[in-house]
C-alpha cells in the first residue's frame, strides 16, 4: 500500500492499527484457508470410507501392491521436514538468519526427496499396469468375452516363465507376483488405484505448492524481508506445510496399511 506505518523496520498496511493487529488478522486468514483444505480432502476421505466399506477386498488386494517401505520412508521424510520447518520458523523469530536458511533449505530438500520417491512409485505402477479405471484394461477381450486388464496380460506372460526369468525379464519378484495374482482375482480392483492416484496425486500437488512457498519465504529470509518483528509469511507457510504433512499421515495408513 502507498501509506505504510513503520515499527522497527517492518511496516503494516494502512488498514491495520499495528503490526500485531495485522499478524492476528493474517493468522486467522491462514487458519481459515487450512480449514478449506481439510474439508476438500474430507470429501476424498468420505468417498474412500464409502468404497472401502463396499469393497473391502478391493482395498485389501490393492494396498498389498503398494510398497510399505517406500511409503514409510516418505512418511519419515515428511515428519522430519515438519520438524525442520518448525525450526526454521523458530530461527526466523529469533533472528538467526543463517540457521533459518539451512532449516528451510533442508525442508525443501525433503519435499524433493518425497517427490522423487513418488516418481519411482508411480512409474513402477505404470510398468506393471496397476493404474486407475479404464486405463487398467487392454484393448483385447478374453476368450470368455471379458475385458483383459494390463495386470492380467502381464501375469499371462509371467506364467510362461520360471521364477528367475520373471525377476530378470519382467522385474517381478515372487512377492509382487503373488500380490498381482491376488489383485487380478479381485473384481473391480482398478477402483483402488483410482483412489490411490487421485489422493496421492492431489497431495503431491500440495507438496509441490508447499515447496514452492517455502522457497518463496526462503528468499524473504535471505533478503532480510522477515525477521523477529515480522514473520507472518514464514509462519503461514509453515502451517500450510504441517497440514500437508498431516494429510499424508492419514493417507499413508489408509492407502498402504489397510491390507
Q: For binding to other proteins (CB under 8 A), which residues are involved?
A: 1, 3, 13-16, 21, 24-26, 28-29, 32-33, 35-37, 39-44, 47, 50-51, 54-55, 58, 131-135, 187-188, 190-191, 194-195, 197-198, 202
DSSP collapsed to 3 states, 3-51: CEEEECCEEEECCCCCHHHHHHHHHHHHHHHHHHHHHHHHHHHHHHHHH
In 3D space, the residue among 175, 76, 66 whose CA is nearest the CA of residue 121 turns out to be 66
Q: How far apart are CA 60 and CA 175, in angstroms?
A: 15
CB of 125 to other proteins, least distance (A): 13
Cβ nearer to other proteins, comparing 45 with 80: 45
Question: Within 10 A of 57 (CB to CB), how many other CB atoms are there?
Answer: 15
CB of 1 to other proteins, least distance (A): 7
User: 227 has which bridge partners?
Assistant: 230
Q: How far apart are CA 144 and CA 223, in angstroms?
A: 68
The b-or-e profile of 140-159 (16+ CB within 10 A means b, else e) is eeeeeeeeebbbbbbbeebe
Grid cell 525442520 in the structure block, residue? 84
Angle formed by the axes of helices 190-222 and 232-252, to 10°? 160
CB of 196 to other proteins, least distance (A): 9
Q: How far apart are CA 71 and CA 121, in angstroms?
A: 9
Cβ nearer to other proteins, comparing 84 with 232: 232
Amino acid at each position: 500500500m502507498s501509506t505504510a506505518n513503520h515499527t522497527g523496520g517492518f511496516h503494516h498496511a494502512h488498514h491495520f492499527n499495528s503490526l500485531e493487529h495485522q499478524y492476528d488478522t493474517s493468522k486467522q486468514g491462514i487458519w481459515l484457508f487450512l480449514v478449506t483444505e481439510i474439508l476438500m480432502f474430507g470429501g476424498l476421505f468420505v468417498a474412500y470410507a464409502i468404497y472401502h466399506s463396499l469393497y473391502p477386498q478391493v482395498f485389501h488386494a490393492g494396498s498389498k501392491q503398494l510398497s510399505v517401505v517406500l511409503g514409510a520412508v516418505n512418511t519419515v521424510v515428511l515428519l522430519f521436514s515438519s520438524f525442520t520447518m518448525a525450526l526454521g520458523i523458530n530461527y526466523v523469530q529469533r533472528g538467526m538468519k543463517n540457521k533459518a536458511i539451512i532449516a528451510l533449505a533442508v525442508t525443501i530438500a525433503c519435499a524433493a526427496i518425497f517427490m522423487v520417491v513418488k516418481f519411482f512409485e508411480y512409474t513402477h505402477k505404470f510398468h506393471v499396469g496397476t493404474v486407475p479405471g479404464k486405463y487398467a484394461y487392454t484393448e483385447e477381450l478374453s476368450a470368455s468375452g471379458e475385458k483383459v486388464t494390463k495386470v492380467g496380460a502381464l501375469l499371462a506372460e509371467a506364467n510362461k516363465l520360471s521364477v528367475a526369468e520373471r525377476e530378470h525379464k519382467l522385474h517381478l519378484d515372487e512377492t509382487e507376483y503373488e500380490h498381482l495374482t491376488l489383485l487380478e482375482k479381485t473384481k473391480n480392483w482398478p477402483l483402488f488405484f483410482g483412489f490411490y492416484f487421485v489422493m496421492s496425486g492431489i497431495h503431491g500437488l500440495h507438496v509441490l505448492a508447499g515447496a514452492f512457498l517455502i522457497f518463496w519465504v526462503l528468499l524473504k529470509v535471505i533478503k532480510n524481508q522477515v525477521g523477529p518483528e515480522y514473520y507472518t509469511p514464514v509462519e503461514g507457510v509453515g502451517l500450510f506445510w504441517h497440514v500437508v504433512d498431516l494429510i499424508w499421515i492419514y493417507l499413508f495408513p489408509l492407502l498402504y496399511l489397510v491390507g
